[in-house]
Structure 1
């Protein structure tokens, strides 16, 4: 008979293993010596040790599911319970029991982890839905559209929830996207209609602008072009494929008109500049008549200068006041000289001046006599009052004498 601490072989070749519950039959061995029998079943035991060790490692270090781990444990336990190995089978059972506890712990951990991930996924999807519903009201069509597409990609990357919750959130999310797409479609349909209306309006404006391009009615046509430009800006933009072509035609028609006007105005400006030079020379010639000493000769000379002045055309608008002002100054001097001569030679005016002067002189003389009389009587108050009246009459007399002097009196 042969034995070791964990098993033995009896005389009949039966192999036993020692356990806490007593000896258990391992099997029968007839192929060799008892030592070989024990060695064979000890190798079976070492095989179980290796398998259990590998399973422990897989449970601890991989994502082996609890179900698969439990199946592997049950399979190994069946082998251990079958007693087809010689070794410390109770130790193997203890390791399997610990492994079951570890699997259960990992199961709970994963369950908690899945619950946490589910909560996080729910929160993330609810946030996506809230943002999508907010974006559904946006008028930033390009940015909002790109963001909604990005949210879809984010949604696809999140774990699924329970079917009911996931479907409800997806329905809200999808509805928000559809609402945005519908609003965007309506917006661009309306924009297309507006651009078509703008195109028709601008076609009309271009037609009128081209019809006016050869006009020589410079002022009214330029004003109409300004009105057309205001209408053009108010019309809004046409479709991109039409806008540039319409603008080039519109601008080209204006350019034709304004280039022609500029050419005509340039010639007119040159002519008016020459006119200004001639009128400045005539103004200088007229100014040489001042001061007026011979009214009749000065009047004749000014008339000749003015006739030549009138024969000259327009001068630049900004220079007109100054050069015309010089001529008007000479003309006013002639008028003043004529008025002075008329007053001097008018007998009726002279007679009226002499009459007024005589009346005022008589009044002054009378007042002086009254003052002397009041003083002689000692009535100084009356004399003072009369003297104040005398001052006013004397001033009028002095003025009248000055006027009379102008008549050569």
Structure 2
């Protein structure tokens, strides 16, 4: 018979393992010595040790699910309990019990971690919902749309909550996206309508602009083009392709008109500068008439100069007042000479002047006689009064005589 601390082989070749509950038969050995029999069953025990060690390592170093770990532990426990092996089976059972405790501890840790993750996920999803509901009323269509798509990706990456809580939050989140989508769709539908309306309005403006492009009615047409530009800006934008085409046509019509006008104006400005030079020469010639010494010759000379003046044409607007003032000065001087000549040679005016002079002369003579008589009579007060009246009448007479002299005597 052979034995070791954990088992023995009796004289019949039966192999026993020692346990806390006593010996248990694990097999028989007839092919060799008892030591060989014990060695065989000890190797089976070592196999169990290896299996338990591997499971311990998996539980400690991997994410083995607690349920799967416990199933594996119970399988090994059954193997240990019914093991046909020789060794410290109680120690293996103790290790399995300890491993159960570790799994349960890990399960509790996972439960706590899962609860924490769930709480965090709930907070995160509530924040996503709040942001989505805020974006639902945004009119930053592109930016808000991109952000909502990013929120969906973030939502998908978060763990699920319990069905009720997750469904409620998802409903709000989805509703916010739907509200934004409907508003954006309505906005762009309205925008399309507005752009189509703008396109039709601008087509009319282009048609009118093209019709005006060959006009030579420079002032009114330029004013109308300014009005068309104001109407163009007020019409809003058409679709991009249509807008570019319409603008090119509209701008082309304007450019054609204003280029033609510029060419005409440049030519006109050049001609007006030439006209100004000619009129300056005529003004110098007219100014040589002054002072007027021969009215008839002056009138004839000015008439000839003025006819050439009128034939010259327009001068630059900013020079017009200055050059015309020089001619008007000569014309006024001739007119003043004509008026003086007329007054000098007018018989009716001469007769009226002579009559007035005669009346004043008679009055002066009468007052002088009366003043002398009063002074001779010793009436000094009356004489002084008559003398003052005499002085006033004499002043009037002097003026009348001077005017009469202008009529040649």
TM norm structure 1: 0.82
How has the CA–CA distance of structure 1 residues 19 and 230 changed in structure 2, closer, same or farther, with 3 Å as cutoff?
same
Match of 2:155? 155
Is 1:248 aligned with 2:248?
A: yes
Cα distance, 1:299 vs. partner?
Answer: 4.6
Seen in structure 2, the aligned counterparts of structure 1 residues 341 and 406 have a Cα distance that, compared at 3 Å, is: farther
Query: Distance between the aligned counterparts of 2:17 and 2:397, measured in 1?
Result: 167
The 3-state SS of whatever aligns with 1:159 is coil
CA contact (8 A) 2:353 2:400 kept: no
Q: Which residue number corresponds to residue 223 of structure 1?
A: 223
Q: Distance in 2 between matches of 1:10 and 1:40?
A: 15
Deviation readout 1:108-151 (Å, 9 max, x if unpaired): 11111111121222222222222222211111112222222222
* Counterparts of residues 63-78 of structure 1 (less than 5 Å): 63-78=63-78
Q: Which moved more, 1:348-357 or 1:116-125?
A: 348-357
**C-alpha displacement of 1:38:** 0.9
Tell me the CA shift for residue 218 of structure 1. 2.1
Matches of 1:359 and 1:21 in 2, distance apart? 180
C-alpha distance in 2 between matches for 1:286 and 1:209:
49
- Aligned residues, how many? 388
Superposition map of 1:263-274 within 5 A = 263-274=263-274
1: CA distance between counterparts of 2:313 and 2:327? 15
Q: Which residue of 2 aligns with 1:11?
A: 11
Q: Does 1:48 align with 2:48?
A: yes
Deviation at 1:351, TM superposition (A): 8.2
**Cα offset, 1:320, TM superposition:** 0.8
Q: Check whether the contact 1:343–1:407 (CA below 8 A) recurs between aligned residues.
A: no
Q: Secondary structure at the match of 2:200?
A: helix
Q: Does 1:208 align with 2:211?
A: no
Which segments of 5 or more consecutive residues in structure 1 lack a partner in the other structure?
Answer: 367-389
In the other structure, the counterpart of 2:136 is 136
2:356/2:400 contact within 8 Å kept:
no
Q: Which runs of 5+ in 2 are unaligned?
A: 372-387
1:29 to 2:25 alignment: no
Q: What is residue 58 of structure 2 aligned with on the other side?
A: 58
- Would the alpha carbon gap of residues 350 and 51 (structure 1) be closer, same or farther in structure 2, given more than 3 Å must change? farther
Cα deviation for residue 340 of structure 1 reads 6.5
Q: Which residue of 1 aligns with 2:312?
A: 312
1:377 corresponding residue in structure 2? none
Match of 1:18, SS?
A: strand
**Residue of structure 1 in register with 2:323 after alignment:** 323
Distance 1:30 1:403 in 2: 184
**Residues 1:349 and 1:328: Cα distance change in structure 2 (over 3 Å):** farther
Shift in CA distance, 226/89, structure 1 to aligned 2, threshold 3 Å: same
Contact kept, 8 Å, 2:2 with 2:8, in 1: the verdict is yes
**Cα offset for 1:90?**
1.9
Q: Would the aligned equivalents of 1:136 and 1:179 in 2 still touch at CA under 8 Å?
A: yes
Aligned counterparts, 1:10-409, within 5 A: 10-292=10-292, 297-335=297-335
Partner SS, residue 26 of structure 1 = strand
Distance 1:351 1:119, change over 3 A: farther
TM-score (norm 2): 0.82
SS at the partner of 1:63?
coil
Q: Output the aligned Cα RMSD.
A: 3.6
Residues 9 and 341 (structure 1 numbering): CA distance in 2 closer, same or farther, change over 3 Å?
Answer: same
